[in-house]
Chains A and B, each alone.
Chain A
Amino acid sequence: MHRYIIKRVLMLIPIIIGVSFIVFFMMDMAEGNALDLIGLDFSEEKLAELYHQYGYDRSVFYRYLLYIKNLFHGSLGTSIIYKKDVLDLYLQRLPATLKLASASVLVAVVLSIPLGIRAATHHGSLTDNASMVLALVGLSMPNYWLGLMLAVLFAQKLHWLPSSGDLNGIWSLILPAITVGTGLMATMTRTTRSSMLDVIRQDYLRTARAKGVPEKRVINVHALRNALIPIITVVGTEMGKALGGAVVTENVFAWPGVGRLIIEAVNQRDTATVTGCIILTAVMISIVQLIVDILYAFVDPRLRAEYSTGGQRSRRKTGPRAAALGLAGKEGAVA
């Protein structure tokens, strides 16, 4: 298990280098640069000096190598625009993003899993059809549009909730969390339902019923436990999405998170900030994935065995994660 975790953490290194390469070059080669933006009123000499200081008088490869060198020394560089260390900037914005992501995942989990289970146990019923239609509608709504409409209704018309910023504690969190949560909920409900439907037909559930286990226990313990892997997978992926993809929602609600920082930085061609934030987002998403993979082992003893024994040999290419998906179904892989 430990070896597996170490291996996964080491795998972050190529991801960091790859992501930094892609993003750095794209941002650096984009038209205009941050120095030109802040240097509008500077004298020629001052500007030339700054160009030299940040390596803009050399090639993009030079700047990239400089960036990588700093990266290996643990520095993500300094933002030209904000005049601050990029890591500090990121950490300053991270709590807001984490808060929003966890709140939306929480909303989604609390609503979607019971709904998915009910849809599966009442297969073909009105509840089932209605929840599937709702899920599909939720999946099809542009996030930012839902956010705007919620803001119009609850903030502007009814004056129940604030529509921007994070100054009103939990009240400010409600609308953004519902906005992000709706999309997540749709996927989770669908996955829960299809995973439960798979399990419900298994013989061991018939056995459990035959030996007189109460129906509630059959569903909530025997079935749910076995249906959990695709659900966890989706919760993990969706958490990742919420961490990296709430960019648009953060902009709708003026939420002071990482997503907004990235957009501001992109508009100001602040290469160091964009690259740094995207690297850190990618790392966060990878960490969530790793936690999901570790959770599999807690849910499924078969996988636990695989982690701790000769898993490396037989599963070298696929890894326990793929094995888990293979074991447990398709919606997880499809979604």
Chain B
Amino acid sequence: MSGRQKTLAAPAHRGRSAGGELWHRFKKNKGAMLGLLILIVLIGVALTVDFWLDQELVIGQNLREKLQQPNAKHWFGTDEMGRDLFWRTVYGTRFSMAIGFVAVIISAIIGVPLGAVAGYYGGKLETLIMRFTDIFSAIPSILMAIAIVSLLGRNTVNLMLAVGIAAVPQFTRVTRAAVLTVKNAEFVEAARALGKTDAYIIFVHILPNCLSPIIVQVTLRVAGAIISASSLSFLGIGIKPPTPEWGSLLTAGKTYIMGHSYLCLFPGLAIMLTVLAFNMVGDGLRDAMDPRLKD
């Protein structure tokens, strides 16, 4: 939001690497920095929670303290088994983050090569891949994910697969579009003249130059994947309670929503905060990587 004049007046600084330049521009975006901060905390929690959080706090039942409203001892209240919702939500970070990242890695592993091949070779192969992508994306992704889970069976790994596969078309499209813009560049021609193989050219020369839209897509997609996965849990086809994944915490709380709405409020806020952070970072990255897109 710092205005156009500034961007115009500050051409690419010499002596700064591409990454440094990116960071310099990213850093100026307050929202993106806030998002990044939140993400660092969340990822930190997700990676380390097993080491410092006493399992007893997460799964220990205490029926004498069941269904307590939020109070000084139980910040987010307690569930029907007297388990502390705050610690369950904190522990749930681990599941939701893992699902989000793994699902997106799956989409990228399938979608990026497909898009790269389609863009690089063109012709019939491209038509085939893109038509298939069109058909695939004609099915709303949540329905696609539901169908995949029912085919594979209901467990965490299949949930990640389902959410990941359902998001493949976006990656194929973004990658293809990006590859089309660089495939005729001189350095690609040079590589070809040197007799490099197509695979080498695609992975070593083309894809690294297409990274920015893909990275932006990854960031935004992790957010989408977290929402999709929790929606599936909510519909009763994702992760089953009592696993403290946020979607299933919410689902479990739904039974007691009359009079105990906090059971749904806090896991939902956790999802929102995480998704918001990813979106802010994704937006910030997009603006930083492509100054033309900066409003």
Contacts and interface: CB of A to CB of B under 8 A. Distances in A.
A and B are partners in one complex rather than unrelated chains: yes
Interface of A: 14-15, 18-19, 22-23, 26-27, 29-31, 123-124, 128-129, 133, 136-137, 139-145, 148-149, 152, 156, 193-194, 197, 240-241, 244-245, 247-248, 251, 262-263, 266-267, 269, 274, 278, 281-282, 285-286, 330, 334
A143 B148 CA distance: 21
Contact of B234 (A27, A144, A152, A241): A144
Given A140-B275, A247-B142, 19 more contacts: A15-B138, A26-B147, A30-B151, A31-B153, A137-B276, A141-B275, A142-B227, A142-B268, A145-B264, A145-B271, A148-B250, A193-B295, A244-B142, A245-B141, A248-B231, A266-B237, A281-B139, A281-B140, A285-B140
B139 A266 contact: no
Given A14-B131, A136-B280, A137-B276, A334 B286 contact: yes
Nearest to B259: A156
A251 B146 CA distance: 14
Contacts of B147: 22-23, 26-27, 266, 274, 278
A149 to B, nearest CB: 7
B272 interface: yes
A263 B235 contact: yes
Interface string B1-40: 1010000000000000000000000000001000000000
A14 B271 CA distance: 38
B258 A156 contact: yes
Contacts of A263: 146, 235
A141 to B, nearest CB: 5
A282 B147 CA distance: 14
A207 B87 CA distance: 61
Nearest to A145: B268
A149 B272 contact: no
Contact of A29 (B31, B151, B279): B151
Interface of B: 1, 3, 31, 131-132, 134-136, 138-143, 146-148, 150-151, 153, 223, 227, 230-231, 234-237, 247, 250, 254, 257-258, 261, 264-265, 268, 271-272, 275-276, 279-280, 283, 286, 293, 295
Given A27-B150, A266-B146, A330-B293, A145 B140 contact: no
A92 to B, nearest CB: 19
Given A19-B138, A22-B139, A148 B264 contact: yes
B109 to A, nearest CB: 20
A136 B276 contact: yes
Contacts, number: 137
17 contacts: A14-B131, A19-B139, A133-B31, A136-B31, A136-B280, A140-B223, A140-B275, A142-B272, A142-B275, A143-B231, A148-B250, A149-B268, A156-B258, A193-B295, A244-B142, A263-B235, A282-B138
Contacts of A149: 261, 264-265, 268
A contact patch SS? helix
A278 B140 CA distance: 8
Contact of B295 (A27, A123, A133): A123
Contacts of A26: 147-148, 150-151
A142 B276 contact: no
Nearest to B295: A197
Nearest to B35: A136
A145 B272 contact: yes
A248 B271 CA distance: 16
